[in-house]
Amino acid sequence: MDDRHDAIARVLVRVLYLNLAVAGAKLLFGYATGAISILSDGFHSLTDGASNVMGLVGLRAARKPPDEDHPYGHRKYETLAAAGIFILLLFVVIEVVRAAFQRLTGGGTPDISIASFLVMLTTLAINLLVVRYETAQGRALRSELVLADAAHTRSDVLTSCAVLVSLAAGWAGYPILDPIGALVIAVFIAHTGIEIARDTSRILSDRAVMDENDIRGVVMGVPDVVGCHRIRTRGSRDHTFLDLHVWVGGDIALHEAHRISHVVKDRLMQKYPQIADAVIHIEPPPGKV
């Protein structure tokens, strides 16, 4: 578990430096040229860096071992950090919409140059590399925090494309598309926030994580097991808690039933390494009590 946390932290730190560089470039050119779309995209990129910092803080809390107050561990702090990304996105949407409507009502023309296109194309290329890297690492590490951050950066790719379109329109003599492009960016950001909120709420509300039939298939492969029910899972995809009732013959001795429960648990945890703990309740089949 410590190795996993260290690996996730390394991913977040590497991405943090790239996000800060991208955000800095966009914000500088956004303020220098007056392009609301570039400036809005810069704020969006800045939240990428902020989410990396929040993720590192949450990860530090999540790696603490179980204690008396947290017998199931501190793993959900990582999920809370992912939920914090949603809060950041909400504030960004509000700021982008405000700036866009201010430009629509107040007027103004951005100063668009070749340098603006070069900045956006360069930062777009960096974001594409970040998305590919984070997605691969998130899946390999089974971390919803890294995957949520990758989704956040993926929305940055879409918004950068929208900015390029609005810049091209402004270059062609249609400056009104600059604030309209910013509103399109706000839609992309809001969509990403909704996806992150949906995924984290599933974990925090203890939604079932694994398919009952998959678990039942492993359990029924253990000799002397005649059935199982009340299969319940909760947690995240990479840190799951499982409990279930297993039926064994009523004539089986207590120590043998105890051994069978350990076999069931070992097979489940071997088949599904994401299971952090499994509680097996042994009981006779229905009608055999």
The token duo for 45 is 């990129």
Measured distance CA(116)–CA(34) in Å, rounded: 11
Measured distance CA(32)–CA(111) in Å, rounded: 8
Residue 18's region, left for phi above 0, alpha for psi from -120 to 50, else beta, is alpha
- Each domain of the chain, given as residue ranges in start order, spans 2-204, 212-283
> Are 168 and 142 spatial neighbours (Cβ–Cβ below 8 Å)?
no
Measured distance CA(246)–CA(280) in Å, rounded: 7
Reported in sequence order, the residue ranges of the chain that DSSP labels E, i.e. its strands, are: 225-236, 239-248, 275-283
Distance of CA 229 to the CA centre of its chain: 31
Measured distance CA(30)–CA(103) in Å, rounded: 13
Task: Classify 248 as helix, strand or coil.
Answer: strand
pLDDT digits (tens, 9 = 90+) for 245-282: 999 988 888 899 999 999 999 999 998 888 888 999 99
The CATH code that applies to domain 2-204 is: 1.20.1510.10
The token duo for 47 is 């939240």
Q: Strands 239-248, 225-236: parallel, antiparallel or unpaired by DSSP?
A: antiparallel
Q: List per-residue pLDDT tens for the chain, 289 residues long.
A: 567 778 888 888 999 999 899 888 888 888 887 777 787 778 778 777 877 887 787 777 766 777 888 877 777 777 777 777 788 778 878 877 887 787 777 766 666 778 888 888 898 899 899 889 989 988 888 777 788 778 777 777 877 887 788 778 877 877 777 778 778 778 877 887 787 788 888 888 888 889 999 999 999 999 989 999 999 999 887 778 999 999 998 888 889 999 999 999 999 999 888 888 899 999 988 866 5
The token duo for 142 is 């089974």
| Sign of CA pseudo-dihedral 116, 118, 121, 122 | negative
What pLDDT is stored for residue 62 in this prediction?
65
pLDDT digits (tens, 9 = 90+) for 127-136: 899 889 989 9
What pLDDT is stored for residue 264 in this prediction?
94
Distances (CA, A) of 117 to 9, 36, 217: 33, 14, 56
> Are 225 and 261 spatial neighbours (Cβ–Cβ below 8 Å)?
no
CATH classification (class only), 212-283 = alpha beta
Residue type, 109: T
Distances (CA, A) of 277 to 80, 83, 241, 280: 21, 24, 5, 10
Measured distance CA(218)–CA(118) in Å, rounded: 55
What pLDDT is stored for residue 108 in this prediction?
64
Residue 284's φ and ψ, nearest 5 degrees, are: -75, 160
> Are 155 and 41 spatial neighbours (Cβ–Cβ below 8 Å)?
no
| Sign of CA pseudo-dihedral 14, 18, 19, 24 | positive
What pLDDT is stored for residue 289 in this prediction?
53
The token duo for 42 is 């810069």
Can you give the pTM of this predicted structure?
Answer: 0.65
Residue 200's region, left for phi above 0, alpha for psi from -120 to 50, else beta, is alpha
What pLDDT is stored for residue 218 in this prediction?
93
Measured distance CA(72)–CA(215) in Å, rounded: 21
